[in-house]
A and B are shown apart, each in its own frame.
Chain A
């Protein structure tokens, strides 16, 4: 609660939030959990369907490759559960990529909750892949800038580390330039995604997570 007010984000009532992190096998689960703890919100890691359905907010984290992450979701049945959820759901990094239809990484069929395909970032002299470091979030349109998930984020730096992304996505709220602009933050109804790592994006990341919890 104290930290949330420090980043000038929404006031959160932690007692009303029941947040779960879906277990996609990524190594950043603990870091995402700690980021919410800094906001005063406890996040349980689970693959239990009942617990996930009862949550007010659901996070799909992810680090590593799309193929193994999708295989993990299939193995624990989350690939069938996730499309039936109606509460705010946000994928982070590879977790976001899994929300699209397909990823070129390992030619992986994904969840299809966001229209679009995830492709490898183009590489050229001066344009290094992985895209690693802090880059600026740019609102995709005035309407996108007004989305509550984007509150206070336009123009701020977030931390990225990835080699794949979706380009030309109609649901992009923010894009980011590394060669051609790619989708940095997306929302389609209750389904949202962040290609950056909010858990490692200092005050910008805390604000994004607080905005999500305020939905």
Chain B
């Protein structure tokens, strides 16, 4: 039986891992390789590296650290941020990343998803979706969320976008619920369950993890394939070994060595 995955997300800015509350006020958490190895040793199932400034600044991901991470870790990892073309993705995949994740560039030009799936196969194409509930009660996507000054609301309904990206060839979807991100009050179960119902590819929950109980409920209630978090892992407030043993005790299949 396929195990549910625990995925630490490392937001990368200027060659270091950073974290901020609700996407703002970033503080340095440590070096990229140092944190990658720490999480691998603690039993993380996969890592996501998000170059949070590449997309709003129009820069590409630096290949150097991708190559170094690929050499030292033996679990899969995904690189996000600043991938706008098949050539950008090829550089990151050839540097050793297992998957690429696209978010704002997919909203700019949805055909990019088709191109990436055609060139590399759907299994390495992840689409990140930043989503927020509007005043009318509808969930809609956000763009360029790495920089609050540049964040835009292009008006697309989240559920429509989730269906479209799958049809275009997304092999996995990461749903970042911005309303709960950084607040540590739990994943947005209502939104995740709604997206789950519209999603036939693996779905990764992101935004809001604060306690071990939040992980148990997101797998039970929203039936997601993986749960992604950053600060609770960086701070050590949710230790991954303890998280996995509690998930196992709750009857949720997880990997253990």
Residues of A at under 8 Å CB distance from B?
A: 27-28, 30-31, 34-35, 37-38, 63-65, 123, 126, 128-136, 156-157, 159, 161-163, 177-178, 197, 199-206
A30 in contact with B70 given A128-B201, A134-B3, A200-B98 (CB within 8 Å): yes
Q: Are B171 and A64 in contact (CB under 8 A)?
A: no
Point out which of B3, B171, B255 has the most chain A C-beta atoms below 10 A from its C-beta.
Answer: B255
**Nearest 6 A-B pairs (CB), nearest first?**
A157-B255, A134-B255, A27-B93, A134-B3, A200-B76, A130-B123
Chain B 199-211: CB-based contact to A (< 8 A → 1; otherwise 0)? 0111000000000
Q: Are B202 and A206 in contact (CB under 8 A)?
A: no
Q: Is B95's beta carbon under 8 Å from chain A?
A: yes
Bound CA–CA A134/B256 (angstroms): 10
B162-186: which residues lie under 8 A (CB-CB) from chain A?
171-172
A37 in contact with B71 given A133-B226, A135-B1, A157-B255 (CB within 8 Å): yes
Q: Are A132 and B172 in contact (CB under 8 A)?
A: yes
Q: Are A202 and B202 in contact (CB under 8 A)?
A: no
Residues of A within 8 A of B2 (CB): 131, 133-135, 178
B199-257: which residues lie under 8 A (CB-CB) from chain A?
200-202, 223, 225-226, 255-257
Bound CA–CA A43/B4 (angstroms): 33
Bound CA–CA A197/B76 (angstroms): 9
Bound CA–CA A161/B75 (angstroms): 12
Q: Are A136 and B70 in contact (CB under 8 A)?
A: no
Q: Are A31 and B202 in contact (CB under 8 A)?
A: no
Bound CA–CA A204/B225 (angstroms): 21
